[in-house]
Amino acid sequence: MRRPRPAPRPAKPAGPPVELTIQAVGGEGDGVANGPVFVPFSLPGERVLASGSGERRDFVEVLEASPQRVTPPCPHFFVCGGCALQHWEHPAYLDWKVERLRTTLARQHLEAEFVPAYAAGPETRRRVALHARKGSRDAARLGYKVRKSWDLVDISVCPISDPGIQAAIPAMKRLAAPLFEHPKSAPTLHVTLTDTGLDIDISGVEEKSGGLSADGRMQLAEQAAAADFARVTLNGEVAYMARQPQVRLGQARVALPAGAFLQATPGAEAAMADFVLSQAAGASRIADLYCGVGTFTFRLAEIAPVYATDFAPAAIQALTSASATAPGLKGVAAEARDLVRRPVLAEELKKTDVAVFDPPRAGAAEQTAELARSAVSRVIGVSCNPATFARDARVLVDAGFRLERVMPVDQFLWSPHIELVGVFSR
């Protein structure tokens, strides 16, 4: 006989707001008081009033402000969950990010020279994901999720985004209006600003009922044409295309597959590529692992022949097509390959002296093990996740490599997120 579930205990009353003194900023960008107690929108040294109970409290007001507090530039900031740190002056905010990176590496007993960080400025993001919810007949609600909620902030501006994306917000709201034929549809517009216009890949449209109807697709195409978008796809399937979305990577002009990965800001891409190139100088043969559409491949191929591989066949096809017409390359051989199930073996890297890897957030554990066994003399790791980078770096260091230098990369402005490029040699 199944026992009845016990009745839920009533929540403890939160009580009146309490005064807290903030000691530091935690990993998610919240201020931390003794306890620990976490309070959003607060800074070290501040006295704040916070409500609620438990470790996570709600910000009420500042009683004594830090001299580092600034006015957030976005009208949606205190509600929108997209940014966490617009209230912190930039030098202190960037120092905090770099120190977090240093601490993450230190947990794996890793030390290195830190070169000056690259920091993206406002209005530089060329790639954003905007959630859509049903609005009026002619325009959806569009924006980011409310902080710690499934609700939506219907945005009018977005100071992190390129002006070309911000200007298109009203048109994208009209584009999303036909997507709600099924009540379970919760579309997300994955927007990329390319050299030929906006490329928008839409996910989250309910497909069990047959997907978007012919009438819905027609309305979608009409709105895309009216806004002069370059391309609109539904889960990678073309719904409208006026021009092939393209970007320039080094000397190559690459036709982007739908949903292709690009670095979030062009400036960060250029800074990382310049640093990678400077550290790969003098190479005779290079492996570019997790190469994507060729962010580093084409620039590296100006130095030496490159073997490029990635798990996405469409990315490899785009890279191969672009390399055929790019001038001044020493040679590019590309292969679609799952580097988790089938990493490039140490034996395959016999003639390679420099390897570059830029994996997803999960890191490159399997491929790192092969690099550690190989005779490669220099490894350059690009990472969007310092924790998995540190794990993989430990493997290389234990195999005789030395982590020489690190470049911190802040391209997700006003978020707690920090990226890096690390250089190993032996």
**Residue 12 reports pLDDT greater than 90:** no
> Within this chain, do residues 206 and 113 fall inside the same structural domain, yes or no?
no
Q: What is the pLDDT of residue 13?
A: 52
Q: Is the pLDDT at 10 greater than 50, yes or no?
A: no
Same structural domain for residues 231 and 332? Answer: no
Residues 283 and 379 in one domain: yes
Cβ contact 412:384 at 8 Å: no
**What's the Rg (C-alpha) of the chain?**
24
**Mind listing the pLDDT tens digit for each residue in 232-276?**
999 999 999 999 999 999 999 999 999 899 999 999 999 999 999
Question: The domain spanning residue 368 has which CATH number?
Answer: 3.40.50.150
Model pLDDT, residue 124: 98
3-state SS record for 374-410: CCCCEEEEEECCHHHHHHHHHHHHHCCCEEEEEEEEE
Span 105-157, pLDDT tens digits: 999 999 999 999 999 999 999 999 999 999 999 999 999 999 878 889 999 99
Cross-strand pairs, 136:
none
Round the average pLDDT of the chain to a whole number and report it.
94
The number of distinct structural domains making up the chain is: 3
Query: Same structural domain for residues 400 and 285?
Result: yes
- What domain range is 214 assigned to? 127-246
pLDDT of residue 149: 82
Where do we find the tokens 């509600």? Answer: 79
Q: Given the residues 74, 158, 291, 384, select the one marked as catalytic.
A: 384
Nearest-angstrom CA–CA distance, 154 and 313: 36
Residues 329 and 412 both lie in one domain: yes
- CA neighbours closer than 13 Å in the CB half-sphere of residue 265: 22
pLDDT in tens, 175-234: 999 999 998 899 999 999 999 999 999 999 987 777 899 999 999 999 999 999 999 999
Q: Give DSSP secondary structure letters for 139-208.
A: --EEEEEBTTSS-EEE-S--TTB-HHHHHTHHHHHHHHGGG-SSTT---EEEEEEETTEEEEEEE----T
Q: Is 300 helix (H, G, I), strand (E, B) or coil?
A: helix
Active site residue 384: yes
Which segments are annotated as binding site?
263, 290, 310, 358
Task: Return the higher-pLDDT residue of 6 and 88.
Answer: 88
What residues are designated binding site for S-adenosyl-L-methionine? 263, 290, 310, 358
